[in-house]
Structure 1
């Protein structure tokens, strides 16, 4: 009887106190109060400058998975659809900063009629990996999130975070690059208080597409880090994007908002040219940029249209072409050749025609002068 009694006791305990779930599933942030955004939004200058809609007839990024590693994403925003959300902080999926929601909107905000804001590649499959509850986070957590993004099959990984060099972070980047992910990272921001600029990681690692910040006039923003080996620039000053609370925020600045623009372009390239590996995608983006001058500008402002459509040297043209191929030439016998001119026949025809005209002339003369001769008895006319 002891066996059944023990079993009953265990069942009773399970019913009264079910097993506790992992702590991170129930933990909540100490404070979750992002700045309040607005309901009105105007078309951002960066969107006008890059004009990704010109590329949409070719691709909107469909079939490409983009991972955004940040502070989470507002899952209820009407313009953002997140296919999968992973929380590494143990504080829930809410974006308590706004940073991640803004980055997600720049990459993949869907087009809504009447709303002037949209993302660069609205057709992508977006996954969110929350690695922080503020604007920095721990390096170990960032490394874990990068590995997880690669394991989730991310084709493009956006990291709008600057950190210090760390063996775990370096290994995570190498792992993701080895799985053919394009890692796009912010080059980092510098201020007067920072002193001498230092390279930002993971942007400074080999194999990472480092993005600096550009102003409205296309020059490098003063705060954009020049110590990081920048590949290209993206709009990063006076930025407008999506925000928690189904809202929008303007006046954003930083390389962390420039990186999502380039990540969106990388997604467009991967969708249009699926045969290119991550290295060739990075090369294509830098080779088609608008050109840069000075430290920290790299190849200049990213150019979505050229990145997707340009035919570059040394690149196999196996992807879908921009225009249909030229039709094959017609066979030699498709059009009948003109017959050679028979000059003899032409001369004969002319002679016959002249003879006929002469004959007609004689007939006309006979009809006129013969009656006149008869009336006169064929006598010559009198002199007056």
Structure 2
């Protein structure tokens, strides 16, 4: 479905003039990306309830029946339709509902989706950064705690930087796909400080996108996957196989919604720290320019016990004195085992006493029972 565009982005086939259409209803084996994230394992801990995820890019087709009634929010500035198709693909990864018609499901089905379109539907590649900044501000005004930039812009702007700063001051998490396919190119706000920039991997764990740098935070599945399709006409419908950087960013945004629901006291920056600290590290163990700090580990991100103030990977922190390690108390001995325990303890005492007698006797014989000069 997704092909490279002359703008250096991963673009949609709909950019050539026709609206996106479903491949059908997916009933095959669970895709490798969904198996890796394993959302069902997380749902006893968090389903993303109470979270609003803004899907910013091309809109979302709210008529796909794998979105629950009322899950795709309407109102001023929203775009509940999606000719391009990329927004609907990203939205499904974030929060598509379980359905008996398909093996595909979203990461955080308890979350609400706020669909925002900033791109010209007839254009390919990334759109205007000023329009993207306006969409981000709309998302913040509507209470979104996670801003998913499914289709980033081709250039930066002061307005876009200001929107990122405002999001951080509001405690929101901005997740943006690394979408550039030309060597040395960057996307925005992906490359802006304070944004969780996400790279894409294939099933072997290799990076898919060309874009890279020290600003990459995480990687997630982004190639040969399944998700919801625009143009569903009220049915449960999908596109597959899909390769799109928006998929990887959507997986991370879904996990961010789970973390926010499970740990509501965390700030946006603390959520990002938790996601990067718990990631499955690259083979080198160090930061990778196209994989960031590793592939998202959804279960570890939600379930790990971490101090809210813990520093992120690679941060320079002053050394601190470590507390003394106090061994855990031994488990109490059951009453029925007390006689045996007493006998065992008595045996140890007798053995120690016997050893002491033998040692004393041997020392006395060596010295002809005379005291040493040191009185021992």
SS at match of 2:227: strand
SS at match of 1:58: coil
Say whether the 8 Å CA contact 1:86–1:93 is kept in structure 2: no
Say whether the 8 Å CA contact 2:62–2:72 is kept in structure 1: no
TM (norm. structure 2) is 0.71
Aligned pairs (5 A) from 1:182-193: 182-190=173-181
Aligned pairs (5 A) from 1:233-244: 233-244=219-230
Aligned partners of 2:259 and 2:21: how far apart in 1? 34
Residue 20 of structure 2: aligned partner: 34
Aligned pairs (5 A) from 1:118-129: 118-129=105-116
The answer to whether 1:311 aligns with 2:288 is no
Q: Where does the alignment leave 5 or more consecutive residues of structure 2 unmatched?
A: 1-14, 311-328, 339-376
- Which residue of 64, 74, 92 corresponds with 1:85? 74
Task: Kindly provide the CA deviation profile for residues 129-169 of structure 1, in whole angstroms up to 9, marking residues without a partner as x.
Answer: 12222553322211100001011111111002232111111
Residue 175 of structure 1: aligned partner: 166
Q: Structure 1 255/224 Cα, relative in aligned 2: closer, same or farther at 3 Å?
A: farther
CA positional deviation for 1:41: 3.9
- Which residue of 165, 179, 186 corresponds with 1:199? 186
Say whether the 8 Å CA contact 2:95–2:254 is kept in structure 1: yes
CA positional deviation for 1:64: 1.1
SS at match of 1:85: coil
- Which residue of 57, 61, 70 corresponds with 2:57? 70
Aligned pairs (5 A) from 1:83-232: 83-85=72-74, 93-132=80-119, 133=121, 134-135=123-124, 136-163=126-153, 164-190=155-181, 194=182, 196-221=183-208, 223-227=209-213, 229-232=215-218
Aligned partners of 2:251 and 2:136: how far apart in 1? 19
TM (norm. structure 1) is 0.69
CA positional deviation for 1:307: 0.2
Say whether the 8 Å CA contact 2:26–2:103 is kept in structure 1: no
SS at match of 2:73: strand
Say whether the 8 Å CA contact 1:65–1:153 is kept in structure 2: yes
Task: Kindly provide the CA deviation profile for residues 234-282 of structure 1, in whole angstroms up to 9, marking residues without a partner as x.
Answer: 1011121000122211122132211000000000000000011001100
Aligned residue pairs, count = 287
Task: Kindly provide the CA deviation profile for residues 333-382 of structure 1, in whole angstroms up to 9, marking residues without a partner as x.
Answer: xx9xx9xxxxxxxxxxxxxxxxxxxxxxxxxxxxxxxxxxxxxxxxxxxx
CA positional deviation for 1:314: 6.4
Say whether the 8 Å CA contact 2:193–2:215 is kept in structure 1: no
* Higher relative helix content: 1
Rg larger for: 1
Aligned pairs (5 A) from 1:197-346: 197-221=184-208, 223-227=209-213, 229-246=215-232, 247-292=237-282, 293=284, 294-312=288-306, 315=309
CA positional deviation for 1:93: 3.8
Say whether the 8 Å CA contact 1:33–1:97 is kept in structure 2: yes
Aligned partners of 2:85 and 2:76: how far apart in 1? 15
Q: Where does the alignment leave 5 or more consecutive residues of structure 1 unmatched?
A: 1-28, 317-328, 339-384
Residue 361 of structure 1: aligned partner: none
Aligned partners of 1:230 and 1:185: how far apart in 2? 10
Aligned partners of 2:114 and 2:31: how far apart in 1? 24
SS at match of 2:216: coil
SS at match of 1:259: helix
Greater shift, 197-206 or 117-126, is seen at 197-206
- Higher relative contact order at CA 8 Å, sep ≥6: structure 1 or structure 2? 2
Aligned partners of 1:87 and 1:58: how far apart in 2? 33
